[in-house]
Amino acid sequence: MDGLLGPAEIRELAAGLGVSPTKKLGQNFVHDPNTVRRIVAAAGLGPDDVALEVGPGLGSLTLGLLGVARHVHAVEIDPVLAARLPQTAAERLPGRADRLTVHLQDALKVTTLPDPAPTALVANLPYNVAVPVVLHLLATLPSLRSGLVMVQKEVADRLVAGPGSKIYGVPSVKLAWYGTARAAGKVPPNVFWPVPNVDSGLVAFTRREQPRGGVPREKVFAVVDAAFAQRRKTLRAALAGWAGGPDRAEKALAAAGVDPRARGEQLDVESFIAIAAAAGS
């Protein structure tokens, strides 16, 4: 894999565009080719895979993805960065630049993408919207079978957390609904420009068959949201509003085989599915 961007190239590109990275858009650019190689390797893309990259920025990861994927869709909200990207690809990977489609768009507003349909989400995500972006894209693009995303380490830990831990919450259960997720490593701040004040983490996920247990996603997520909105309460109390009263909540919980005195943070995604199914039956 060649053509990757190092510190000098990143500075030069940014200076040429008059770009000064903004916090608002979570702009921390990777200027370390080894980190790009590591992300691309962890994504495990095959030659038939079509990558969806959110926030390509100056193109560090995009170039790595172009080296292995059949096609890369890059969705970037910043017009200056989006406009420059095809040129960067053409200059640095001339034989592969035609595999790139750049979309000037907010990833949270993506509803469809033109062919070829993306099979893998691979991104160094803007940290302020990382979880909503992952959940939105999984909901919107059923062709996505897997993903490898870099997010703030704390968020990575939350995304892969299991029941019973303090950091287990709505993002953990919702990602578990879509598939299996695992931590795929830690990334130090010094591979970015500008240097963030937090560590980053990689999260890998693989989609499972849906809808799980024959219950629509919205119904399951409504239970999850209600349970964690008051996470210290028992499920009987926390789900009262959702069920139409504590007695009804207790009935649904009993039908699902869940102890009404338990708390949401103790339940795995299967139990949330069972509660949603019980409420609908």
* List of residues contacting ligand SAM (CB under 6 A): 25-30, 54-58, 60-61, 75-78, 81, 106-108, 124, 126, 129
User: Nearest distance from residue 161's CB to ligand SAM, in Å?
Assistant: 22
User: Nearest distance from residue 116's CB to ligand SAM, in Å?
Assistant: 20
| CB-closest chain residue to ligand SAM | 55
User: Nearest distance from residue 139's CB to ligand SAM, in Å?
Assistant: 15
Taking the least distance from each CB to ligand SAM, the nearer of 64 and 264 is 64
User: Nearest distance from residue 210's CB to ligand SAM, in Å?
Assistant: 24
CB 276 within 8 A of CB 223: yes
230 CB contacts (<8 Å, ≥6 apart)?
237, 238
| Helix, strand or coil, per DSSP, at residue 266 | helix
Rounded CA separation 277/102 (Å): 41
16 CB contacts (<8 Å, ≥6 apart)?
none
Rounded CA separation 122/175 (Å): 16
Taking the least distance from each CB to ligand SAM, the nearer of 74 and 239 is 74
Taking the least distance from each CB to ligand SAM, the nearer of 26 and 264 is 26
Pairing verdict, β 192-193 and 29-30: antiparallel
Taking the least distance from each CB to ligand SAM, the nearer of 36 and 252 is 36
Taking the least distance from each CB to ligand SAM, the nearer of 7 and 142 is 7
User: Nearest distance from residue 181's CB to ligand SAM, in Å?
Assistant: 20
141 CB contacts (<8 Å, ≥6 apart)?
52, 110, 112, 113, 117, 118
